[in-house]
Structure 1
Amino acid sequence: MKRLAELGAEVSASLEEARTRGDAMSRVRAKIVAREVPHLRATRHRRRAYPNLRLGAAAALALAAAIALTAFFAWPHKPLEAQGVEAESPPSLSFIVGEGSHELPGATGAFIAAPEAAETRVQFSDGSTLRLAPDARLRVAEVARNGARVLVESGTVHVSVVHRDDTRWSVAAGPFEVQVTGTQFDVVYDPASSSLAVRMTEGSVVVHGCGLLGAEGRRLTTGEQLEVSCKDKTSSASAPDTSPDDTATPDGEQTRSKASTPSTVRPAEPSPSAQPTVRTSKSERIDTSRSVVDLARKGSHAEAMTAAEANGFDTTCAALSGPELLLLGDAARYAGRFDRATEALEIARRRFAGSDAAATAAFELGRIAMDVRRELTVAGDHFETYLRERPTGSLAREALGRAIEARSRAGDSARAERLAVRYLAAYPDGPHAKLARKLSSADPDPRTP
């Protein structure tokens, strides 16, 4: 109110000054008019009042504007969010795959594979990193402004997440999930045995999965290790040895007189499941198939398989679309049911031949044949099937690289070389480029002196 009073005083002074100037001008005009002919005096008299009116109107407008501005800035304002106006959201994280001249922009959902003899780094814009050990494979499934969700397909991955107040990261591997806020650890996943190992370097994580770690999961801190196997229904953890029996060597290194003893974690008792009900209605069978899809999307892989088999696996597959069959195949793989995964993928190829889903099913069949069953020739056939059906598809680079691996390891060097030449022509800096150059005599590495 004090500021408003000051503005009012300033406006009053301006008005008085304007009025004084107006009176002076009026007196001057009166003298001029007195010398003019009489018939012009009336006209000049009417015009004489106009300048004062204009000055008064301008002053009134200035006063109104001053009052409005004072009220606007003095009145308490709500933040934009409270007014229903959303502030611009911070951008999601981005990431780069590879290092140096081999760096490539990362794509959400794309497969990232480390070659057989070298590591591969994934660098995120927040400073977090993933380092894939040789032959490890993963996907960055989702990214947000404060974290990401990573799916480890197989192998060993070193995870280093930069901690912030709202950091939200998760690393999934088959039926397992590791919740991360800011830490460093190694995760090792073997899809054939559906087993997971987590080795902590620093920080803490919470591991869930398989119903073996309790409803709230198992918390691990610096130095602890955890090994879990869904197939064997076993779980064991070991803590760092902090006993006083450690002695220092002259080099300052620690030697232990006894090894730390793993403490066995007792598996949680499985909750009793209701007996499956026999379905006779077609609409009921479709509803059950929908629930299978919902469970798979939520990551409840074992539950999805239980529901699919209770409903009849063939019946469930018959009610699903091509993309849903791929989802069911993923759930079966993550649950360690590779027989069911193969069945779902083969149904997708038969029912939806020529579609994107059928081509992706061929790629997934190749992965099962190569990573789980070690059937290299069969794997190569599946990968090349994908390439024939989708030569420029989203999985083409990975399919071509894995086809080279499969043919080379199966001893089919001539075919591996032809694929290697093709790979170098399309992806000279791809993750399999080093292997391709090794196999291809027609395209030596130009960076080698």
Structure 2
Amino acid sequence: MQSVDPASAVSSHHAAAPGVSIYGRITRRLLPLLFICYVACYLDRVNIGFAKLQMASDLSFSDTVYGLGAGMFFIGYLAFETPSNMILYRVGARRWLARIMVTWGVISAAMLFVRTPGAFYTTRFLLGVAEAGFFPGVVLYLTQWFPSRRRAGVVAIFMTGIPVSGVLGGPLSGWIMSSMGGTGGLASWQWLFLIEALPSIVLAGVLWKALPERVADVDWLSAAEKGWVQSQLDAEHDAKPDASLRQMFTDARVWLCVLINFCIATGQYGVSFWLPTLIKRLGLHDNFQIGYLSAIPYLAGVIAMLMLSRTGDRLRERRWHVAAPALVGAAGFVLSTFLQHDTTLALAALTIATGGVMATLPLFWCLPTSFLKGASGAAGIGLINSVGALAGFVSPLLTGVLNDFTHDARYGVAMLAAWLVLGAALVLRLPRALVNR
């Protein structure tokens, strides 16, 4: 009787029923924990937007001081992210991601001690240093489990942690800001930093014990299934040309992805750091109401991310799935500047903007991972995310300066739209055959 190779049998089965069983099981085992960790991570990164509602007046911070402090996070992030990703590549995701989470949780809680602009800038810088490497480390980790053709949907599930942090964090932050002030002698913004830092510290221990390092380590896949998954990854890996670190740093495609990420992230952080303030300037003053309403745009972001990533994977199309929502986001921002005297319509426009911006994020990360691999890939992903994350410094700072100089928030919002249009144009310069996989 002719013998049948188990990996071949699994491959044949899954060729007939793509997406069934194996990748579904991997997704259910890995993504919930990584997703929850990213929600905690992103909440600690951007809760400064809610803290500003009271912190700025308590400490006499102008919009420029706030914008610079919010952006200082990304200077630390830029300086340490690529080295952090290289360390993760060497020591493994489980221990390094857990280390990151503990450090950022402690420093985020320490924000409650800020009293001066200098302390504000320093603590935000250290928070960026602490968090550097988490996001690109997870992206790199997922490439060790999922081939490119399945990656957009998986990265989308993970990255919905960004808008979900807004959906959950908005009402939570609004409640803390409206009800905790004076308790234990602390202001409401101090309680905000303390309470929202605790989940990160707890989750670090869960991640340390529960996250498998690689396919070969798990006991919830059979030997044949593990062999088949690894064969899919090896085949894709072998199809990518090898590149040294020097070649990676001189690759025009990598730097084009850096620029695209910068443009998209400018819009993203415009939403993250200024949405509560923009909603407040529509004429609302109750912090809990602001928190509740800020969840609406983020909910639209969750829906848009999941829908577009699914169609992107199904159609194997990446460029327009990034460019089109970026243009929609820009249109939403522009509309909001004309509708600011009507709270309902302005919030609807900001919802469109947020949905468009958020939908670009998971599809973007399918672009560089389609041609990067190995150690150079780890460095490349770190470089793209860290240099692109300079937008997190530039976006809140420029918005704050424009607000202080013009006393009109519309100019800052229009600037965000312009960056998104430029990002959409740059995406279409990537060769279709390179990224549509």
Say which structure is richer in strand. 1
Structure 1 length-normalised TM: 0.21
Structure 2 length-normalised TM: 0.21
Higher relative contact order (CA 8 A, sep 6+): 2
Say which structure is richer in helix. 2
Higher CA-based Rg: 1
